Amino acid sequence: MSEERNMWAQAKQATFAQLTGSGFAVKNLKLPPDFVWGAATAAYQIEGGASQDGKGKSIWDIYSHLEPSRTNGENADITCDHYNRIDEDVKLMKSLGMDTYRFSMAWSRIIPQGGRHDPVNEAGISFYNRLIDALLAHDITPSVTLYHWDVPQALYDRYKAFLNTTEFRADYERYARLCFTRFGDRVKSWVTFNEPYIISIFGHLNGSLAPGHCLEASTDTKTEPWRVGHTIILSHASVVQIYANEFQLSQNGKISIVLNGHFYEPHDATKKADIDAAQLRLEFYIGWFGDPIFLGKDYPASMKEYLGARLPSFTPEDLKLLKDTYSINGFYGMNHYSTKFVRQLTTPAEEDDWTRNIEESSVNNKGEEIGPASSMPWLRIAPGGFRKMLNWVWDRYRLPILVTENGCPCPGEADLRVAIDDQFRQRYIGLYLDSISQAIYEDGVKVEGYYVWSLMDNFEWSSGYGPRYGIVHVDFDTLKRTPKNSAYYLQTTFQERRKDVA
């Protein structure tokens, strides 16, 4: 990779002033010597092998083949073909100096039909064993997400998956116990669910992600998204309890959940209603899951007051489970990308309103943008909001934070030269790492690691292959991998930041 390294060395000398928003200056602040870095992916987005070796269909296998298409006419049947390229991809990670790799397991690759009485696919087990062993052989720590949006289609067909709490919990418990049994001797970091907010709202209210439930007949977007969230919370707690009671002592691992969220600033900083809206939006986004899971208590009072009977109630047994398991969560998994302005609307809300009638925007009342835009208009460089988010989560939950996803797609990245010389992404990453350093050393927040999203360009859900979040470029015709300059930036910046405090 000497040629790519030379390209990166030359790019490092180039000024970031060419970028939009050049007033943002990267300081390359220090990070703790034991701070870990790596990259994250999701099974459906990179694996391919959609029906290879006995894999069953997931909701994304079905959703991405609907007509008319809801995924830009594209699917992930092959995508990066990671299923057949483990050795190449792990060697690539090693060459970039990664400490850890966060990936998800495809439930339907392990149990094709998904249910607690359904057969196990040993070929799927073998695939993940090979991946885990390859990572460890290269001194890369595996971090496993059990569920990243891809429930087996068979469970959705049987009982609508998350909408049946009792059935889903039982099936998910069996799947999780199987994974702990087969992989837990080597996996020491577990995540139960990735981004339950997205599963609940985008999969079951507005229909922009699989299973697109709200677009079906006889759906109730007023109540069903909250039922989905309720199911996830209780399923998480059940699996945490199983891990603690049956596996943790012998396997010596940690388990938690990953929550995503923007930070919010008031649209008009002089209006109390907008100031309050910023806090309320965080409670509806993060507190919805964080308070029951990390505090062992009921939903935030603001949610109960606004949603009333739309929000499911925890039984005494549920609350006992939450109280018994909240302290077992070993870290707070944070997926964070950007910050938005919010204002409290006074017009009547829709019946299925999920934001507490709060409007989000990238521009405030003065016409000021929150930050330079990436190739996704909602994702803007706003490192100050990231620092505030780290503080908000730490103050509320007092758990060590792992930044389990953070990254961006560059403007103009369809051009290969821009994609490789991805100065916008390097600027974004550098600023967000500086915010982590400030949160640690100036604010006293405990942040233990950073996983960039994503290892490589991949199938970006409903956007298909348009946005490119990877630090490694993938040519989807040839499947050639080419590290971008941001990959070398990350490798070198962690070497230098650690050296400063060694």
Q: How far apart are CA 442 and CA 289, in angstroms?
A: 28
Q: Specify the DSSP element, H or E, that contains 123.
A: helix 122-137
Find out whether 494 and 97 touch, Cβ atoms under 8 Å.
yes
- Known catalytic residue: 67? no
Q: Are 458 and 474 spatial neighbours (Cβ–Cβ below 8 Å)? A: yes
As a whole number of angstroms, the distance between CA 328 and CA 332 comes to 11
Cβ–Cβ < 8 Å for 206, 214: yes
Do residues 459 and 76 touch, judged by C-beta distance below 8 A?
yes
Asked about 4 being catalytic, the answer comes back as no
Quickly count: other Cβ atoms within 10 Å of residue 3's Cβ.
8
Residue whose entry in the numeric block shows the structure tokens 């694996």: 47
Residue 112 preceded by cis peptide, ω within 30? no
Measured CA to CA, the distance from residue 240 to residue 44 in angstroms comes to: 24
Options 195, 283, 413, 460, the catalytic residue: 195
Closest by alpha carbon to 334, among 444, 428, 239, 446?
A: 446
Q: Which of 167, 265, 283, 405 is an active site residue?
A: 405
Taking the C-alpha atoms of residue 337 and residue 334, their distance in angstroms, rounded to an integer, is 10
Closest C-alpha to 45, from 127, 102, 7, 3: 102
Task: Name the DSSP class of 84.
Answer: G
Known catalytic residues? 195, 405
